Structure 1
Amino acid sequence: MRTEKTLNRPVGRISREDAHYWTLAPAAVGEIISGLESLAQTGAYGPDGLLQGLSAKRERSVVPRVIRQAIDSRAGAVTIKAVGVVGGVLTLAGKKQRTLQIAGAGLMLASSGISKYRTSFGRDGADHMASLICGYRVLTAVIPDPGTSDDVFLRAVNAQTLLSYLTAGTSKAISSTWRSGEALEQILQTQQYGDSAAAKALKKYPGLCRALTWFTVAWEVGFPVVYTMNPRNVRKVMAGVKLFHLGIAVTMGLPRFFWGFSSAHAAVLYTVDRLPRHGGAA
């Protein structure tokens, strides 16, 4: 039986439960991809590999050396990544189980944190965003009331998203390379990011590269405008942002990039839906 509160909910408004799940689920997919990638190339985590452990080489650490050596080993790396994969699976499987989602976020955060302690190589902005989201989820889980806990979590992720996009856009805006429109073309000239079929095709059109460079700066700096828009239009904008991230992922060969930042979008929609002019608190 529908309650009065349900009947009065604006059409298309994202519920707290759905926002909670869809803020964690994409991050979980990214973590699973990352874990499977690592488990498929364990040689890179050996003593002579690119992603070899470096924690045992620290001159000062509160962590006993024997533990750091275990973390740095290939077996340690495999275990750490496996924990992250398990966390991702638990999160995805717990769509209707809040506790399971939080437990999964905790495992993903632990895997990410220990991996970073082991070595800082092999991580990008999307990994950091996913880690922050899981961190906010674990931190806000200590709030006794589930509704308040989830609300604070989602609003924290929304604030982080706003800060991340605005900071990224501002840093680009003060860069002469980005202002000149040359940044994207230069990025695609590197071996790491310019080897995909999409990158090779894009490099043939310098004018398009310049336009995309300026467009990136413009939308990141202008991201705060979404909080003044009609919620339906915000959904269209966020869909466009997802396509932008997907384009970067495909062009630069970054399969996790799309998932890490997409995780934050449900929290943005949740917050926009609850702005006073759009119907107030849930």
Structure 2
Amino acid sequence: MAPSRPSIAVRRLASAGTFVAALETLSQHKRFVKGDLLGSQVESFHPRLAQRFPRVNRALASRAFPYTLYGTQAAVSAATFLWPGNRPLRIAGGLTLAVLQSAQSAFIPFGRDGADQLQQVINVTMASTGLIRDLEQADDLAMRTLALETSLSYVASGVVKAVSPVWLKGDAVAGVMRTKSYGDPRAHRLITRYPVISTALSWGTIVIECGFPLIYVLPKPAARAYLATMLVFHVGIGEFMGLNRFVLAFGATHPAIHYVLSQRRRESTAATRLAPCLALAP
């Protein structure tokens, strides 16, 4: 049995994200030296490991380690993108990417963000469900799991903002746009001229994130529009904050949400057709 189209879409988009992440890091190869931002931080974060296993420490502190780490990530991601329906690659590739990202978090902790965390969830979910013999059941469980995880991520992010005085005051977006790392001069000038934009964006972000679970009870057109709004939201973050990988990371979970929405309506229709039969049963 061939894998479902939502499953293939998830794997393709997610692998594109991990591929881009690997290339972005490899482009900064000058910072792979020990102690630099993208070099090994074993002695700082794992001093006991460094003292107890000096040979391991030397290997992790070498420039070859990040090259191997991100080079392998790029190769596995590319293979996954080219053959998203390959079951052994789904298991082995997902597991490999999960291990690589765990190693990156442990030994090169800088430069990580929410996109990496969500990619890790996708890798583990797709690899573990790939072990289920019935591929239809495997894809169904994977899509429902990713839809749930994405919903929880949106709500958690919205709740954190909802209890933040800066976000409630409406100054959060303006503050971010002023920064060098995540700001944008064009957006900053516009918000400075029209402060109400910052307030609207700050409150709007809280509302759409906290209210995301409503997508599962809204009529089909409204649910699709809501999901499209979230995609535009991520594209905007990528454009103005430079967090482009969030588009691919969260975008990779959207086919799973579309799948769950479609299944919910099919199940509802089936239940409606079955109701008269149950009513006539003795």
Contact 1:45/1:51 (CA < 8 Å) preserved in 2? yes
How far the C-alpha of 1:40 sits from its partner, in A, is 1.3
Whether 1:40 aligns to 2:66 is no
Candidates 47, 50, 71, aligned match of 2:37: 50
Paired position in structure 2 for 1:105: 94
Whether 1:264 aligns to 2:250 is no
How far the C-alpha of 1:111 sits from its partner, in A, is 2.1
How far the C-alpha of 1:185 sits from its partner, in A, is 0.9
Q: Summarize the Cα distance change of 1:234–1:44 in structure 2 as closer, same or farther, 3 Å threshold.
A: same
Paired position in structure 2 for 1:3: none
Whether 1:19 aligns to 2:6 is yes
Give structure 1 stretches of 5+ with no counterpart: 1-14
Contact 1:199/1:251 (CA < 8 Å) preserved in 2? no
Paired position in structure 2 for 1:86: 75
Contact 2:90/2:127 (CA < 8 Å) preserved in 1? no
Whether 1:277 aligns to 2:264 is no
Paired position in structure 2 for 1:161: 150
How far the C-alpha of 1:69 sits from its partner, in A, is 3.2
What is the alpha-carbon distance in structure 2 between the residues aligned to residue 232 and residue 279 of structure 1? 20
Candidates 59, 62, 68, aligned match of 2:47: 59
What is the alpha-carbon distance in structure 2 between the residues aligned to residue 150 and residue 111 of structure 1? 24
What is the alpha-carbon distance in structure 2 between the residues aligned to residue 247 and residue 190 of structure 1? 16
Q: Summarize the Cα distance change of 1:251–1:136 in structure 2 as closer, same or farther, 3 Å threshold.
A: same
Q: Summarize the Cα distance change of 1:67–1:204 in structure 2 as closer, same or farther, 3 Å threshold.
A: farther
Contact 2:26/2:67 (CA < 8 Å) preserved in 1? yes
After TM superposition, which residue ranges in structure 1, 4 or more long, deviate above 6 angstroms? Answer: none
Structure 1 stretch 16-25 or stretch 56-65: which is displaced more?
A: 56-65
Give structure 2 stretches of 5+ with no counterpart: 272-282
Paired position in structure 2 for 1:132: 121
Paired position in structure 2 for 1:76: 65
Over the matched positions of the two proteins, sequence identity in percent amounts to: 29
How far the C-alpha of 1:195 sits from its partner, in A, is 4.1
What is the alpha-carbon distance in structure 2 between the residues aligned to residue 145 and residue 81 of structure 1? 33
What is the alpha-carbon distance in structure 1 between the residues aligned to residue 139 and residue 199 of structure 2? 41
Whether 1:246 aligns to 2:235 is yes
Structure 1 stretch 93-102 or stretch 39-48: which is displaced more?
A: 93-102
What is the alpha-carbon distance in structure 1 between the residues aligned to residue 66 and residue 193 of structure 2? 40
What is the alpha-carbon distance in structure 2 between the residues aligned to residue 68 and residue 140 of structure 1? 35
What is the alpha-carbon distance in structure 1 between the residues aligned to residue 66 and residue 103 of structure 2? 9
How far the C-alpha of 1:250 sits from its partner, in A, is 0.8
The structure that is helix-richer by fraction is 2
Tell me the secondary structure at the aligned position of residue 274 of structure 1.
helix
Candidates 192, 205, 211, aligned match of 2:200: 211
TM-superposition CA deviations, 1:222-279 (whole Å, max 9, x none): 0010000233432222122111101001101122121111111111111121123255
**AA aligned opposite 1:271:** V
RMSD: 2.3
**AA aligned opposite 2:29:** T
Structure 1 stretch 212-221 or stretch 149-158: which is displaced more?
A: 149-158
Whether 1:188 aligns to 2:177 is yes
